[in-house]
Chains A and B, each alone.
Chain A
Amino acid sequence: MNNESTNNKSPNNKIVLSNVSKSFGNNHVLNGLSLNVPTGKSMVVIGGSGTGKSVMLKCILGLLDADSGSILIDGKESVGSDTKTRSKFMKKFGMLFQGGALFDSLRIWENVAFGLVHGQGMNKKQAREIAIEKIRAVGLSPDVAELFPAEMSGGMQKRVSLARAVATAPEIIFFDEPTTGLDPIMADVINDLIVDQVKDLGATALSITHDMASVRKIADYVAMIFEGRIIWTGPVEDLDHSGSEYVEQFIHGRADGPVTRSVA
């Protein structure tokens, strides 16, 4: 296991997870998961379906309460924190959901401006201008601003969702399977946009995916999750010589290997 880049004593870690556990009844999804995300870097967590990636993300976001362990955000404890502290953390976050999660009763610009208007109390006119600017930044025409999400394709919805995630200029952006369900070209476009937007904002990014093309494009660091624990982490350059047979099997998409043997 390579922990060189992510020493949790370092003040340069934006997010530090230590021994985080989460169970649903008898289903132990996270089993003492530890992970450090360096400030201003893009960390991508890879792993198969059902290994706990989404649950980990939801625990960091505060959408689920971890059963035990510690989640530090900018050095402040998130697990068991009160509503006020949670709300302060939320203001630092932006999130791109797997399915986009656009509000289908609102127009595109209202979706993008939602966090500005309702989360930050900005007036609608100013928020609309920023929304249009963000819509343009993700490669869409400002004409789409008046459309409803149902009138757009999946790829366009993902772009809008990205625009919404970055509209409030968050310090930390989470990406949940950003390229799932997209064709390879559109997936690459989204990957480029993610890299550009994260760089422009100087934000810290934490993504979960099993799309290896996406990993190689957007990651500075990669971690692999298996059975609710991080089993390998290191810089993206080390991914192809990780020394972990689990990582090897996953990145080459082989049917036979330790991952499938464990599941069987």
Chain B
Amino acid sequence: MKTIQTNSLIEAPLDFFNKIGATFLNFLAAVGRLVNFMIHSVKHCFLPPFYPSQLIRQLTDIGYYSLPVVGMTALFTGMVLALQSYTGFTRFNAESAIAGVVVLSITRELSPVLAGLMVAGRVGAAIAAEIGTMRVTEQIDALRTLSVNPYKYLIAPRVLAATFMLPILVLIGDIIGVYGGYVVSIHSLGFSAGSYLTQTWDIITRMDVVSGLWKAAVFGFIVSIMGCYHGFNSARGAQGVGAATTNAVVSSSILILIFNYLLTQIFFS
């Protein structure tokens, strides 16, 4: 009786540590698979054959069709930012700082991060669902049997298009966001147009915009890689494709927030 009790006392913590160990090993294996997939994908972006028609299609899908959602997000973010800044800054008689706060917040942080998150929701989900469906309906196997490398035909155009188009979307978002803040400041808060624009122009530097564009390129890469990875490794059935889509959006959103911090450290520390 005593032996049984002693055994269970030893085994219970061992089981616990076994589970922790197995989870950690599974995590490392998943990271390894993801890194391997990423290296393969990047390699095939630069090795022929290339599929320009696929690239153009993705540039349109990822860039052009994301413009309304990114534009709307930037516009209302700029407007809200101006209103909130005004509410706070009037307490310290610092209303003149609003233009600077709006332009720096938009270009450095809000435009790239919000555009990244919106594109993760729109494009990352679509990539994972499309490639996941192709996986479960054997279309990816069919590509291979027709002597076409799926990394070159499916993955590389999406990765290139997202990495290239997100900075353009963010640049447009910067302009629209600043314009949103300008409209609210002029029409609702009673600022003078000339002084608002002068303050905006005086405070912004090239680095503020460029850092946002670099962030956008990294976020575009993350969104496309996570969408492709989860779609490519989708499990069978509708549930598998659904899980791939969810995982793509969740993982790319989290990675965007983590990399935003890391990039901010690199650019501004």
Whether chain B is bound by chain A comes out as yes
B142 at the interface (CB under 8 A from A): yes
| Chain A contact residues, majority secondary structure | mixed
Q: Is A91 an interface residue (CB 8 A)?
A: yes
Residue ID in chain B nearest A118 by CB atoms: B148
A226 to B161, CA, bound (A): 48
A61 located at the interface, meaning its Cβ lies under 8 Å from any Cβ of chain B in the complex = yes
Q: How many residues of B contact A (CB 8 A)?
A: 14
List B contacts of A58 (CB < 8 A). Answer: 141
Residue in B49, B51, B137, B145 whose beta carbon sits within 8 Å of that of A61 in the complex:
B145
Q: Say if the beta carbon of A255 comes within 8 Å of chain B.
A: no
- Bound-state Cα–Cα, A169 to B153, Å: 23
Q: Chain A: residues with CB nearer than 8 A to chain B?
A: 58, 61-63, 87, 90-91, 93-95, 97-99, 101-104, 114-115, 118-120, 164, 168
Apart from A58-B141, A118-B147, A168-B146, 12 more pairs, CB < 8 Å: A87-B147, A91-B147, A95-B141, A95-B145, A101-B137, A101-B138, A102-B139, A114-B146, A115-B146, A118-B146, A119-B146, A164-B146
Interface status of B144 (Cβ within 8 A of chain A): yes
Residues of B within 8 A of A61 (CB): 141, 144-145
The smallest beta-carbon distance between A90 and chain B, in angstroms, is: 5
**Which residues from chain B sit less than 8 Å from chain A, CB to CB?**
49, 51, 134, 137-139, 141-142, 144-148, 153
What CA separation (Å) do A101 and B145 show in the bound complex?
Answer: 11
Kindly list chain A residues whose C-beta atoms are within 8 Å of the C-beta of B138. 97-99, 101
B147 touches A90 (CB 8 A): yes
CB nearest neighbor in A for B142: A101
A101–B147 alpha-carbon span in the complex (Å): 15
Given A99-B137, A99-B138, residue A94 in contact with residue B145 (CB < 8 A): yes
Are B146 and A97 interface neighbours, CB within 8 A? no
Tell me the complex Cα distance, A90–B149, Å.
11
Distance, CA A104 to CA B138, complexed state (A): 12
Which residues of chain A are near B49, meaning CB under 8 Å?
118
Task: Using CB atoms, name the residue of chain A closest to B148.
Answer: A118
- Given A97-B142, A103-B142, the answer on whether A114 and B137 have CB atoms closer than 8 Å is no
